[in-house]
């Protein structure tokens, strides 16, 4: 009896030791995997730092103003072109040329976009769980510019193509004004923002394909890697007609950041990324929205 008891105890001890060995092996494997991933990140960072230096030297030969550009901007342009130095350099130089043409004073005056601001269609409030600022754009409040208004040809900074030949000046100025405001209010250590495109009340009278395409051109080609996510909410069925026209102009990197949200899952979807204390009150959160000009 004692022998059987001792044998059973020995087997249990061996099984326990075996389990602990497996657990230790698993922990060691996880630790090794983590160390390998960290090493890959370090190697990746080293490659990016090296490419930033090469691209800076290349760009400064063609445009001395690149000296005023920080490494973070160069890194964003590199990432937008999958670390291809030549393509990213071309993109950056076109952006700097566009900026001198479109923003000769370095900013968009609110007096130039007073009608756009009066529509109260762009607001900011709160940050997501990663500390990125939240922007809300109301598509149903947009009023397209009348076709008989004087327009000008604006210089687009598309690295791979020009999107449209005639861009709606007020809409383009408003988009640039908004993006400049967002970037200026970016919390320390952050480079990206989260956007909510709210289409509540959107109808054909709000449809403005030219402005949508112009906005995409500016966002993708002049402010690359600034958008983290875009939640499109309260989507009416008729919007999909406009969406089908605009969709081909969205680059693959931006497409991955766009999320259409069902009305019944609106709050729960947003809460996956945004704490309730930071969520705008119109979506069941705690914070009131603030018009972009007051941010």
Q: What is the pLDDT of residue 170?
A: 77
**Does one domain contain both 97 and 117?**
no
Confidence of residue 22 (pLDDT cuts 50, 70, 90): very low
**Does one domain contain both 66 and 117?**
no
The DSSP 8-state label assigned to residue 186 in this structure reads P
**Does one domain contain both 97 and 148?**
no
Q: What is the pLDDT of residue 83?
A: 95
Q: Collapsing DSSP states into helix, strand and coil, what is residue 136?
A: strand
Its domain, for residue 141, covers 110-294
Answer with the one of 50, 79, 102 that is the final residue of a domain.
102
- State pLDDT tens for residues 170-227: 788 999 999 999 999 999 999 999 999 999 999 999 999 999 999 999 999 999 999 9
Mean pLDDT in residue range 41-49: 72
What contacts 218, CB < 8 A, 6 or more positions away?
A: 157, 172, 175, 176, 179
Q: Choose between 56 and 164: higher pLDDT.
A: 56
**Does one domain contain both 45 and 117?**
no
**Does one domain contain both 84 and 179?**
no
pLDDT at 55 over 50: yes
**Does one domain contain both 191 and 281?**
yes
pLDDT at 19 over 70: no
**From 42-51, 125-134, 188-197, 221-230, the region with the lowest mean pLDDT:** 42-51
Q: What is the pLDDT of residue 4?
A: 57
**Does one domain contain both 166 and 126?**
yes
The DSSP 8-state label assigned to residue 134 in this structure reads E
Q: What is the pLDDT of residue 134?
A: 98
pLDDT at 156 over 80: no
Answer with the one of 81, 102, 123 that is the final residue of a domain.
102
Mean pLDDT in residue range 160-178: 65
**Does one domain contain both 64 and 156?**
no
Q: What is the pLDDT of residue 155?
A: 35
Q: What is the pLDDT of residue 163?
A: 34
- State pLDDT tens for residues 225-261: 999 999 999 999 999 999 999 999 999 999 999 999 9
| Cβ–Cβ under 8 Å, residues 80 and 253 | yes
Tokens in use for 243?
Answer: 């969406």
Q: What is the pLDDT of residue 40?
A: 43
Q: What is the pLDDT of residue 45?
A: 81
Domain count within the chain = 2
Q: What is the Cα–Cα distance from 231 to 236, expressed in whole angstroms?
A: 14
**Does one domain contain both 80 and 124?**
no
| Cβ–Cβ under 8 Å, residues 111 and 180 | no
Give the chain's mean pLDDT: 84
Q: Choose between 131 and 23: higher pLDDT.
A: 131
**Does one domain contain both 56 and 183?**
no
pLDDT at 162 over 60: no
Strands 290-291 and 258-260: unpaired
The CATH number linked to 129 is 3.40.525.10
Q: What is the pLDDT of residue 171?
A: 84
Confidence of residue 145 (pLDDT cuts 50, 70, 90): confident
Mean pLDDT in residue range 123-140: 97
**Does one domain contain both 130 and 75?**
no
Q: What do you get for the CA distance between the two ends of the chain, in Å?
A: 82
Q: Choose between 41 and 285: higher pLDDT.
A: 285
Answer with the one of 79, 102, 125 that is the final residue of a domain.
102
**Does one domain contain both 71 and 130?**
no
Mean pLDDT in residue range 5-19: 50
Mean pLDDT in residue range 18-30: 42
Q: Which residue do the tokens 């602990």 mark?
A: 20
Q: What is the pLDDT of residue 146?
A: 54
pLDDT at 15 over 80: no
DSSP notation for 233-290: ES--TTHHHHHHHHGGGS-HHHHTTEEE--GGGHHHHHHHHS-TTTSBGGGTSSB--E
């Amino acid at each position: 009896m004692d022998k059987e008891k001792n044998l059973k105890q020995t087997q249990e001890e061996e099984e326990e030791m075996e389990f602990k060995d497996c657990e230790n092996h698993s922990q060691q494997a996880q630790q090794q995997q983590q160390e390998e991933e960290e090493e890959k990140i370090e190697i990746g960072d080293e490659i990016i730092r090296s490419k930033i230096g090469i691209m800076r030297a290349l760009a400064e030969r063609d445009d001395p103003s690149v000296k005023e550009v920080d490494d973070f901007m160069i890194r964003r342009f590199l990432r937008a072109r999958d670390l291809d130095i030549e393509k990213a350099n071309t993109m950056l130089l076109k952006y700097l040329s566009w900026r001198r043409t479109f923003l000769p004073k370095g900013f968009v005056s609110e007096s130039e976009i007073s009608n756009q601001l009066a529509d109260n269609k762009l607001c900011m409030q709160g940050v997501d769980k990663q500390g990125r600022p939240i922007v809300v754009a109301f598509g149903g409040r947009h009023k397209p510019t009348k076709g008989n208004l004087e327009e000008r040809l604006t210089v687009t900074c598309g690295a791979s193509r020009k999107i449209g030949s005639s861009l709606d000046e007020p809409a383009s100025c408003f988009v640039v004004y908004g993006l400049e405001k967002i970037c200026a209010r970016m919390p320390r250590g952050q480079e990206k923002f989260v956007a909510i495109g709210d289409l509540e009340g959107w109808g054909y009278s709000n449809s403005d394909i030219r402005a949508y395409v112009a906005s995409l051109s500016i966002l993708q080609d002049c402010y690359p890697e600034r958008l983290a996510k875009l939640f499109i909410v309260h989507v009416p069925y008729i919007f999909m007609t406009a969406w089908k026209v605009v969709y081909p102009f969205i680059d693959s990197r931006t497409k991955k950041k766009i999320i259409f949200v069902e009305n019944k899952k609106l709050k729960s979807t947003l809460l996956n990324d945004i704490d309730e204390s930071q969520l705008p009150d119109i979506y069941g959160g705690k914070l009131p929205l603030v018009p972009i000009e007051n941010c």
